[in-house]
C-alpha cells in the first residue's frame, strides 16, 4: 500500500513539475523541481483531492505547518501519516 | 498652500476632500471608526453566516450588527446587494458632510468612481446555492442588476443625481486606490467638478471565503502585519466613500476641507499573478511623490498595504526603504488591516480615513497585533498603540494580486 501511495504522490508532483516520475527522488526539494509558490499550493490541493485528506499548510509559515514540504521524502511521509489517520 | 488654480503654471486644479463616510467592522460611521483607530480596537471575530462550519478559515472582520432593514426598504433590499448597501450608506454620510446639493448644474459636472473586486458576491453565492444545491429552476428577476460590479456606482449616481462620469474599477485589493486616483485626476484636470469616490466590498460569505482558503494565505487566528510571527491575512467587509472637489470651489463655498489630494501614481509589476514585486511597488511610491510635488522628507506617515502575509509585508518594507532612503527610518508606517480586516476592493478607501486622521487630528493609527520584530520589516510600524504626531503629508499604499500598484498622496489642508 505504501509503495502505491508513494507512486501516486510522485505522479502528482511529476505532473506539476513537468518531469518524469523517475527524475524525482526523496531528496528533491520543491525548488529543485522548479515548483514555485503557486505550484506548491496547487500540488497540495491535488494531493488532498487524490487521497481525500486535509493538509494543514499555510503558505505564510511553511516551516511551522504540521505538513513538512521540505523534500519529496518528507511530503510522502506526511501524506502517508494523514492517509493512515484517515483510515484509523 | 494659498496657491490659487489660476496661479498654477500647469493649469491643473487642486483637489480637496470635503466629505467622508464609511461602514466597516469597526463602526457604521467615520467618528466611530476613527475612535477605534485611536483605541487600537480589533474588529475581527468569529464569522457568522450560513455553512461557516464547512470553512477552515472561520474568522473575519464582519459588520456587526447588520440589519439591512434598518437602512433600506423592502424594494431597495431586493435591488441592493450588500456591497451596494455599504456604498450607499458611506456615500450618504460623505455627501451630508460635504453639504453639497447636486440638483441642477452641479450634478451635470459631478460623477462617481468606485472600486470593488467581487461586486455582488453574496448575490452570486445565494443564487448559485438556489439553482445548484437546492435544485430550483427559477431565480429572482433582479439577480443581474444586483450582482453587477457597477451596481454600487450606479445606485450612488441615482441617489444624488450625479450625471457626469460614473464607473467601477476592479483591480483586486487596489480597486479603491485606483478609483480614488482616477477621481483625483478627473477633478484635477477639470473633467469633473466633484467626484464621489472610494470602494466597497462584501465578500464574507461561504463561497467568498472558500475561494480564498484555496490560496492558503489566510490566517486562522489573527492579522499581525509586520510581526515576525504573522501568518496571513484576515478578510473584512465594508465601504469608504469620499467627496473629492475642486479646491477653490470648496474654499469659496466655505466647506470644511478634510485634506488635500496632491498626487497619485499606478504601476504594474508585469511579473507574477500573486507574488508582489518590491520594484513595482517602489515605482508607484516614487511616482506618487513626484506627481504630488513632494520630497521624501515631506512624508510623515504611510498607511501600508500591510496585509499580514509573509510576502506582502517584507516586499512592501523593502519598497518603502528603497523609495525613501534614510528618511524611511524616520517616517511612520502602519497597517490598519489588523483592525478592520482586509476589505479587498474597499480597503484603500477605509484606510484613507487613517490618512485623514493623521493629517487633521495628528493621531497615527497603530498596527495592532504586533508581537515580534521582523528584521525584514525594520521600519517604525507604530506597534499596538496610536501615537500623537504632526504630519504634513501622507501616502496610502495598495498593491494588488495581479501586480497592480496604486499609491495616493495627501497633504494637510
Indicate the range of A47-61, B104-118, B152-166, B233-247 predicted with least confidence: A47-61
Among residues B224, B252, B280, the one where a domain terminates is B252
Cβ neighbours of B78 (radius 10 Å): 12
Indicate the range of A49-63, B5-19, B30-44, B172-186 predicted with least confidence: B5-19
CB–CB of A45 and B214 under 8 A?
Answer: yes
User: What CA–CA distance (Å, rounded) separates B105 from B19?
Assistant: 20
B-chain residue closest to A45, CA distance: B214
pTM more than 0.90: yes
Work out the pLDDT band at A88, boundaries 50, 70, 90: confident
- Residue B396 inside a domain? The answer is yes
CB–CB of B275 and A37 under 8 A?
Answer: yes
Same domain, B158 and B236: yes
Count Cβ neighbours within 10 Å for each residue of B101-135 and write b for 16 or more, e otherwise: ebeeebbebbbbbbbbbbbbbbbbbbbebbeeeee
- Residue B7 inside a domain? The answer is no
Note the pLDDT tens digit of each residue in B318-377.
Answer: 999 999 999 999 999 999 999 999 999 999 999 999 999 999 999 999 999 999 999 999
Picking from B216, B220, B311, the nearest residue to A41 by CB comes out as: B216
Active site residue B173: yes
User: What CA–CA distance (Å, rounded) separates B294 from B306?
Assistant: 23
What beta strand segments (E) does B39-172 contain?
A: 45-46, 59-60, 110-115, 166-169
Active site residue B305: yes
Q: Is any Cβ of chain B less than 8 angstroms from the Cβ of A38? A: yes
**Model confidence at B1: pLDDT above 70:** no
**Which domain, by its residues, includes B277?**
262-411
- Residue B321 inside a domain? The answer is yes
B-chain residue closest to A37, CA distance: B275
Which residues of chain A are within 8 Å of residue B215 when distances are taken between CB atoms?
A: 41, 59
Element holding A5 (H helix, E strand): helix A2-17
Same domain, B97 and B157: yes
CATH of the domain at B365: 3.40.47.10
Same domain, B308 and B381: yes
CB–CB of B216 and A57 under 8 A?
Answer: yes
CB–CB of B216 and A54 under 8 A?
Answer: no
Instruction: List the grid coordinates of B7.
Output: 496661479
- Residue B402 inside a domain? The answer is yes
Indicate the range of A39-48, A56-65, B364-373 predicted with least confidence: A56-65
Q: Which residues contact B186 (CB under 8 A, 6 or more apart)?
A: B111, B113, B165, B192, B195
Prediction ipTM score: 0.82
Q: Is any Cβ of chain A less than 8 angstroms from the Cβ of B309? A: yes
**Which domain, by its residues, includes A30?**
2-87
Torsion of CA B98, B103, B107, B113, to 10 degrees: 50
According to the model, what pLDDT value does residue A37 have?
A: 87
Residues of chain B with pLDDT > 70, as a percent, come to 98
**Model confidence at B9: pLDDT above 80:** no
The Cα of A25 is separated from the nearest Cα of chain B by a number of Å equal to 26
Cis before B45? omega within 30: no
Indicate which residue of B28, B155, B305, B340 is catalytic.
B305
Active site residue B140: no
Residues of chain A with pLDDT > 90, as a percent, come to 81
According to the model, what pLDDT value does residue A63 have?
A: 79
Q: What is the mean pLDDT of residues B209-236?
A: 97
Number of domains in chain B: 2
CATH of the domain at A54: 1.10.1200.10
Q: Is any Cβ of chain A less than 8 angstroms from the Cβ of B310? A: yes
Q: Is any Cβ of chain B less than 8 angstroms from the Cβ of A64? A: yes
Average of per-residue pLDDT values in chain A: 92
Look up cell 484636470; give the residue.
Answer: B189
According to the model, what pLDDT value does residue A1 have?
A: 59
Element holding B393 (H helix, E strand): strand B393-400
- Residue B144 inside a domain? The answer is yes
> How many angstroms separate the Cα of B383 from the Cα of each of B311, B332, B348, B373?
19, 10, 20, 10
**Model confidence at B3: pLDDT above 70:** no
Same domain, B172 and B278: no
Same domain, B198 and B337: no
Among residues B204, B226, B252, the one where a domain terminates is B252
Among residues B197, B230, B252, the one where a domain terminates is B252
Same domain, B266 and B387: yes
Same domain, B275 and B394: yes
Number of domains in chain A: 1
Same domain, B29 and B112: yes
Phi, psi angles (nearest 5°) of residue B259:
-175, 165
Work out the pLDDT band at B201, boundaries 50, 70, 90: very high
Same domain, B172 and B210: yes
- Residue B8 inside a domain? The answer is no
Work out the pLDDT band at B66, boundaries 50, 70, 90: very high
- Residue B67 inside a domain? The answer is yes
Same domain, B347 and B315: yes
Same domain, B244 and B267: no
According to the model, what pLDDT value does residue B289 have?
A: 98
According to the model, what pLDDT value does residue B357 have?
A: 98
Same domain, B198 and B322: no
- Residue B3 inside a domain? The answer is no
Cβ neighbours of B73 (radius 10 Å): 9
Amino acid at each position: 500500500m505504501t509503495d502505491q501511495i508513494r507512486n501516486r504522490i510522485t505522479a502528482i508532483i511529476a505532473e506539476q513539475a513537468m518531469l518524469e516520475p523517475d527524475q524525482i527522488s526523496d531528496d528533491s526539494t520543491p525548488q529543485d523541481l522548479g515548483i514555485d509558490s503557486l505550484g506548491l499550493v496547487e500540488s497540495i490541493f491535488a494531493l488532498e483531492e487524490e487521497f481525500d485528506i486535509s493538509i494543514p499548510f499555510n503558505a505564510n509559515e511553511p516551516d511551522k505547518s504540521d505538513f513538512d514540504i521540505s523534500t519529496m521524502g518528507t511530503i510522502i511521509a506526511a501524506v502517508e501519516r494523514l492517509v493512515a489517520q484517515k483510515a484509523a | 498652500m494659498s496657491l490659487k488654480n489660476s496661479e498654477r503654471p500647469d493649469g491643473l486644479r487642486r483637489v480637496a476632500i470635503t466629505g467622508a463616510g464609511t461602514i466597516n467592522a469597526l463602526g457604521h460611521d467615520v467618528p466611530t471608526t476613527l475612535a477605534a483607530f485611536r483605541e487600537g480596537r480589533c474588529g475581527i471575530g468569529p464569522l457568522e453566516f450560513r455553512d461557516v462550519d464547512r470553512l477552515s478559515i472561520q474568522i473575519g472582520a464582519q459588520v456587526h450588527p447588520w440589519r439591512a432593514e434598518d437602512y433600506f426598504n423592502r424594494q431597495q433590499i431586493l435591488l441592493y446587494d450588500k456591497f451596494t448597501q455599504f456604498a450607499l450608506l458611506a456615500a450618504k454620510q460623505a455627501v451630508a458632510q460635504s453639504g453639497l446639493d447636486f440638483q441642477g448644474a452641479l450634478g451635470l459636472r459631478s460623477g462617481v468612481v468606485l472600486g470593488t473586486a467581487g461586486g455582488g458576491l453574496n448575490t452570486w453565492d445565494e443564487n448559485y446555492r438556489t439553482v445548484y444545491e437546492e435544485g430550483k429552476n427559477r431565480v429572482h428577476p433582479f439577480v443581474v442588476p444586483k450582482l453587477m460590479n457597477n451596481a454600487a456606482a450606479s445606485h450612488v449616481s441615482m441617489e444624488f443625481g450625479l450625471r457626469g462620469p460614473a464607473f467601477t474599477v476592479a483591480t483586486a485589493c487596489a480597486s479603491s486606490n485606483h478609483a480614488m486616483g482616477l477621481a483625483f485626476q478627473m477633478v484635477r484636470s477639470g473633467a469633473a467638478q466633484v467626484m464621489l469616490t472610494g470602494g466597497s466590498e462584501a465578500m464574507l460569505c461561504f463561497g467568498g471565503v472558500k475561494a480564498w482558503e484555496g490560496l492558503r494565505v489566510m490566517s486562522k487566528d489573527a492579522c499581525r502585519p509586520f510581526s515576525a510571527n504573522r501568518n496571513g491575512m484576515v478578510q473584512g467587509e465594508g465601504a469608504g466613500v469620499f467627496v473629492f472637489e475642486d479646491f477653490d470651489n470648496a474654499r469659496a463655498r466655505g466647506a470644511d476641507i478634510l485634506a488635500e489630494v496632491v498626487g497619485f501614481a499606478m504601476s504594474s509589476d508585469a511579473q507574477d499573478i500573486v507574488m508582489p514585486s518590491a520594484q513595482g511597488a517602489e515605482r508607484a511610491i516614487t511616482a506618487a511623490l513626484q506627481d504630488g510635488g513632494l520630497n521624501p522628507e515631506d512624508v510623515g506617515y504611510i498607511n501600508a498595504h500591510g496585509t499580514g502575509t509573509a510576502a506582502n509585508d517584507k516586499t512592501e518594507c523593502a519598497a518603502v526603504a528603497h523609495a525613501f532612503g534614510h528618511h524611511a527610518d524616520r517616517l511612520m508606517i502602519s497597517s490598519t488591516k489588523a483592525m478592520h480586516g482586509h476589505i479587498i476592493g474597499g480597503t484603500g478607501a477605509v484606510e484613507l480615513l487613517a490618512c485623514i486622521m493623521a493629517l487633521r487630528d495628528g493621531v497615527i493609527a497603530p498596527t495592532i497585533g504586533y508581537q515580534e520584530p521582523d528584521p525584514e520589516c525594520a521600519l517604525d510600524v507604530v506597534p499596538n498603540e496610536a501615537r500623537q504626531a504632526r504630519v504634513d503629508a501622507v501616502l496610502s499604499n495598495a498593491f494588488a494580486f495581479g501586480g497592480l500598484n496604486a499609491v495616493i498622496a495627501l497633504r494637510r489642508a
